[in-house]
Each structure stands twice: as C-alpha cells, then as structure tokens.
Amino acid sequence: MNWTFADRVERVEPSATLAISNAAAELEADGIDVVDLSVGEPDFPTPENVVEAGKRAIDEGYTGYAPSDGIPELKEAIAEKFDDDGLDYATDEIIVTPGGKQALFETFMALLDEGDEVVLLDPAWVSYEAMAKMAGADIERVDLSPHEFQLEPALDELAATVSDDTDFLVTNSPSNPSGAVFSDAALEGVRDLAVDHDFAALADEIYQRIAYTDETPTSLGSLDGMDDRTVTLNGFSKAYSMTGWRLGYVGMPRPLREQASKIQSHSVSCATHFVQRAGVEALRNTEHAVAEMRSAFRERRDMLLDLFADHGKEVPFPDGAFYMMLPVDEDDQAWCEGAIEEAHVATVPGSAFGTPGYARLSYAASEQRLREGVDRLVEHGYL
Ligand SMILES: Cc1ncc(COP(=O)(O)O)c(C=O)c1O
C-alpha cells in the first residue's frame, strides 16, 4: 500500500515529551533508577470521596452514553464554578469533554481555517501549536523569555504582533511550562488589544487551582469587553489529580459552542457518564484536598528554588502550576539528553515550548526525589 497522508497530520510532530519518556522507559527497563521530572501530572491520588463517587456511579448503572455536551448536574456545577470566577457562562455555553485537550481541539477546529492567524505567547504548551497547525492556521509568536516569562512587560511586543488579521490569541496562566501567573494589568492589556482588533481569546485556566498567589488568578473572560470573545478552558486533571479519568470543560459564547459541540457529537460523543458524576463531587467537595495538594506543591517549589539558588541558578519565579524553567545551556536539547543519560534525571527541553536555553522541571514528585534529582545534576556537572 502506498500511503499518502493528510497535510494536517504531516504538518505536526509527535509530542516532544514522548522522546524523553521513551528514553526514561528504556533506562528503567535496564533496571536504572530515573528521577523523572518530566511528568505533567500531580503525584497525588485522586481524592477518596471522588473515587467513591465514581464507584457509586458505576454501581448505580451510569455506564451508558451521556448527553453529548455533559450531564445537567455537572454543567450546573461548572456554571456555578465559572460564576465564582466572575465568568458568565450559562449551562448552554458549556461543553463537558473527555479531557481539556479535547475541548481545545474542538475550539481550534471550530474557529480556525487555513491561513487564519493565531498568536501564541512563548513558552507555550506544546499542543497549542500542533492544534493550530492541524487547523491550518498561521502562527505568530511573542517571546516572553526576556521578561522572566511575564506578559505585562511584553505588552508592547504583543501590540506590535497583533493586527486586524489576528483571529485568536492563546493565554495560559498559571503557565505550563513556566509557572508564571499573569498580572491583572497584563490581562487588561490583552483585553484592550482583543477589543481594538476584534479577535477572540482562549484563557487556558487548567492550573488555576494550583496558584500560590494571595488571590485566585483573574479570569480573562471576567474583564469588561471579554465575555463574548473568550473561550475559558478548565478541567479536572490537574486541580483534582484526575488525569486518567479524562474530564475537562470549556465555556464559550453560544455561537461558537453550537459549532464546537458538532465536533464533539461526531467524534468522541460524550465524556464518560460515571466519570462526570465523580466530577460533580470533585467540584463541590474537594476544597480541603485541593488546599493540601497546593501547599505541598508550594513547599516543593520553595525547596527547589533554594537548592538551585545554592548552586548559583536563578529560576524565573514560578507562582503557579507545578513546573519551572531552569536556565541551562543554549543547546537545551543536548543538556536534557545528557541529563537523562548521565545523571538519570528526566526533564523537557525548553525548545519544545518555543524557548531554547531552558529545561522544564516538574515538581510533581516527592521532596526526597527532588533532592535526589538535584544531587545527581550537581554530581554530573549539570548544575
Ligand atoms: C496547559 C495545559 N492545557 C491543557 C491541558 C490538558 O489537560 P487534560 O486533557 O488532561 O485535561 C494540559 C495538560 O497537560 C496542559 O498542560
């Protein structure tokens, strides 16, 4: 068979983190202990009451198809959660998806055509670029690395990048991979540009519950002028340690939701019914568990920043999520390959996120493993 493939898949590469996890898996298969700081998932179990709610839902027979865009009880709980964030999405402006990634995919596919313009803020999570490319869109990028990954000092550059041709701008705060939380002034700057040039914005708030700021980070869609042009992405994977349950949600203005939900109904059909029931419990009754995870992440962040400072490394301050960007050699790919092969510490090259010269470290690992990782990097001359 002489296969020819669609341009949309030829345009994208497999996930950059895959090469790292393959290398880690090969070493581990040879019996080598790898300190894996490349992972994008919390290392805590899903809260017990959520697990119980999921089991109960199976026992009660919620094992069939669910309504395509989500069960009413969960959409109601999500609308209330959005309302707490100052976001005014009605239940018919919400889609419950099997993971936040699916919600993003539906958004990009519903909104963007060949040649449309998407603006990304680097470092940007790997899948935005892949999804934009699959939609055929052109990508413009603004580099936040000269500004310690903050958006506010880069607003002039952003203003020079966007135009009336811009269709969509992606923000992600707290950020994967930098951990940066954007200031209110930065978000207001985005708002002014979006309104002036009449483009839509995505606010990926999947790490919103893992922020160490005094106040919950502001939601872009809550700003004046943004409610009818903001897609707000959130989900259960990170906040409630539910990566494998595959449950996410998105709020979007009604006209866009009508289009995006066609993609959901003709592709994945719906998020798993009993998982959605567990999702209601997660949204309503996990305040304590979330606070515990957040404070554990914060302690680890502080510990790592201190350890790196002891070795003369200043890391741009991460105020959320469970990642930080460690400044490394210019050839970050070679640094990461060396770190895994020699020190047996797995990290992700910053170039995968559009910012070479850094390695992304995840601190979703115990303090003991984090210390071990730093010791190994020091021992092998990587710090
Ligand atoms: C920035 C960001 N957005 C969205 C997602 C999607 O997460 P999920 O599909 O597990 O909900 C992730 C997961 O790594 C992420 O890091």
Residue at a domain's end among 284, 306, 341? 284
Question: Does 119 contact ligand 1 (Cβ within 6 A)?
Answer: no
- Whether residues 373 and 262 share a domain: the answer is no
CB contact at 8 A, 319 and 180:
yes
CA 43 to chain centre: 16
Sign of the torsion angle spanned by Cα atoms 283, 286, 288, 293? negative
Question: Does 177 contact ligand 1 (Cβ within 6 A)?
Answer: no
Nearest-angstrom CA–CA distance, 375 and 133: 40
Taking only Cα atoms into account, the Rg of the chain, rounded to an integer number of angstroms, comes to 21
How many domains, the chain? 2
Mean pLDDT, rounded, for 195-213:
98
Ligand 1 atom 13, closest CA: 40
Mean pLDDT, rounded, for 108-113:
98
- Whether residues 265 and 361 share a domain: the answer is no
Q: In what order do the strands lie in the sheet with 138-143?
A: 94-97, 248-251, 230-235, 200-204, 166-172, 117-122, 138-143
Q: What pLDDT does 19 receive? A: 78
The single-letter DSSP state of residue 356 is: T
Residue range 228-239, pLDDT digits in tens: 999 999 999 999
Alpha helices in the chain (DSSP H): 7-10, 16-29, 48-59, 72-84, 100-111, 126-134, 155-161, 184-197, 254-266, 273-284, 287-310, 332-342, 367-379
- Whether residues 348 and 312 share a domain: the answer is yes
Nearest-angstrom CA–CA distance, 252 and 296: 33
Q: Which tokens belong to 376?
A: 């190994």
How far apart are the CA of 4 and the centre of ligand 1, in A? 30
- Answer whether residue 51 is part of any domain: no
Residue range 331-372, pLDDT digits in tens: 999 999 999 999 999 999 999 999 999 999 999 999 999 999
- Answer whether residue 102 is part of any domain: yes
Q: What pLDDT does 196 receive? A: 98
Instruction: Identify the CATH number of the domain in which residue 358 sits.
Output: 3.90.1150.10
**Which residues are CB-contacts of 122 (< 8 A; sequence separation ≥ 6)?**
141, 142, 143, 144, 145, 353, 354, 355
- Whether residues 207 and 254 share a domain: the answer is yes
Question: Does 206 contact ligand 1 (Cβ within 6 A)?
Answer: yes
Mean pLDDT, rounded, for 68-82:
98
Question: Does 170 contact ligand 1 (Cβ within 6 A)?
Answer: no
The single-letter DSSP state of residue 200 is: E
173, 237, 353: residue to mutate for ligand 1 pocket, most atoms within 8 A of CB: 237
Question: Does 101 contact ligand 1 (Cβ within 6 A)?
Answer: yes
Question: Does 217 contact ligand 1 (Cβ within 6 A)?
Answer: no
- Whether residues 176 and 214 share a domain: the answer is yes
- Answer whether residue 1 is part of any domain: no
Mean pLDDT, rounded, for 201-214:
97
21, 101, 131, 322: residue to mutate for ligand 1 pocket, most atoms within 8 A of CB: 101
- Whether residues 294 and 276 share a domain: the answer is no
- Answer whether residue 332 is part of any domain: yes
Please state, rounded to an integer, the average pLDDT across all residues of the chain.
97
Ligand 1 atom 16, closest CA: 176
- Whether residues 330 and 196 share a domain: the answer is no
- Whether residues 255 and 146 share a domain: the answer is yes
The CA distances from residue 379 to 28, 247, 282, 326, 343, in Å, are 20, 41, 42, 17, 8
Q: What pLDDT does 17 receive? A: 75
- Whether residues 168 and 278 share a domain: the answer is yes
Residue at a domain's end among 245, 266, 284? 284
Ligand 1 atom 14, closest CA: 40
How far apart are the CA of 381 and the centre of ligand 1, in A? 33
CB contact at 8 A, 48 and 65:
no
Structural domain for 309, as ranges: 7-45+288-378
CB contact at 8 A, 240 and 46:
yes
> 248-251 and 323-327 as β-strands: parallel, antiparallel, unpaired?
unpaired
- Answer whether residue 242 is part of any domain: yes
- Whether residues 251 and 156 share a domain: the answer is yes
Residue range 244-274, pLDDT digits in tens: 999 999 999 999 999 999 999 999 999 999 9
Question: Does 99 contact ligand 1 (Cβ within 6 A)?
Answer: yes
Picking from 109, 273, 235, the residue whose alpha carbon sits closest to that of residue 118 is 109
- Answer whether residue 190 is part of any domain: yes
Model-level pTM?
0.97
Question: Does 17 contact ligand 1 (Cβ within 6 A)?
Answer: no
- Whether residues 278 and 294 share a domain: the answer is no
pLDDT at 18 over 80: no
Which ligand 1 atom is the nearest neighbour of the CA of 175? 1
Instruction: Identify the CATH number of the domain in which residue 138 sits.
Output: 3.40.640.10
Which ligand 1 atom is the nearest neighbour of the CA of 104? 4
108, 238, 272: residue to mutate for ligand 1 pocket, most atoms within 8 A of CB: 238
Question: Does 70 contact ligand 1 (Cβ within 6 A)?
Answer: no
Q: What pLDDT does 234 receive? A: 98
Question: Does 172 contact ligand 1 (Cβ within 6 A)?
Answer: yes
Residue range 116-168, pLDDT digits in tens: 999 999 999 999 999 999 999 999 999 999 999 999 999 999 999 999 999 99
3-class SS at 119?
strand
Q: What pLDDT does 373 receive? A: 98
- Whether residues 196 and 210 share a domain: the answer is yes
- Answer whether residue 370 is part of any domain: yes
Given pLDDT bands bounded at 50, 70 and 90, which one contains residue 108?
very high
Q: What pLDDT does 13 receive? A: 85
Which ligand 1 atom is the nearest neighbour of the CA of 172? 1
CB contact at 8 A, 259 and 231:
no
- Answer whether residue 256 is part of any domain: yes
Residue at a domain's end among 226, 250, 284? 284
Ligand 1 atom 7, closest CA: 100
- Burial (CB < 10 A; 0-12, 13-18, 19+), residue 113, is exposed
Sign of the torsion angle spanned by Cα atoms 28, 33, 38, 44? positive
**Higher pLDDT, residue 17 or 216:** 216
